[in-house]
Amino acid sequence: MTTEAITIAANVLVKPFEGYAKRLSNGDCKAYPDPGTKGHPYTIGWGCTGSDITPETVWTEKKAQEELDKHLLYFASQVAKLSPSLLKVEARKYAAIISFAYNCGVGNYRISTLKKRIDAGDWAGAQEEIMKWNKAAGRVLAGLTKRRQAEASLLS
């Protein structure tokens, strides 16, 4: 179940919405600033962030894939710890929450009404709640709205 959910999250949500940004002519990628803050956190590959990612960071595509796999496994395990019921639902629902946590953070998931809806098995409520997470630095972003719509569709 976890492997299937991670595969769905990667291929249906994370890769399409994060994109392989700042591709260099040789196929490597270079870090770029957060679109909401125009600075930190810097992102590389398919949306990977971390304290070691700076504006000068460059990865090969292989390294970007390895880091994406590692990050998705981490987020899958973290949301499963917070909401163990995710391990018993359809992989697509689990995938949507992996993608959400990947994008918004485990801490935000932990304190969210979205988590409360999921833990209660209220999938219609979860669809409504996930749509509220379409802002960066207080501004509604079209890309985040589209991503939340895609995630919400998997929660049905």
CATH code for the domain in which residue 44 is found: 1.10.530.40
Residue 99: Cβ within 10 Å count: 29
Active-site residue, from 4, 18, 67, 151: 18
pTM for the complete prediction?
0.91
How many domains are contained in the chain? 1
CA distances from 108 to 29, 32, 97 (A): 28, 23, 12
Measured CA to CA, the distance from residue 24 to residue 58 in angstroms comes to 9
Adjacent-strand bridge partners of 140? 135
- The span from the first CA to the last CA of the chain, in angstroms, equals 18
pLDDT score for 21: 81
Per-residue pLDDT, 1: 58
In this prediction, the residues of the chain whose per-residue pLDDT falls under 70 are 1
What is the predicted pLDDT for the residue at 100?
98
Q: Which domain does 23 fall in, by range? A: 2-154
Q: Is 56 a catalytic residue?
A: no
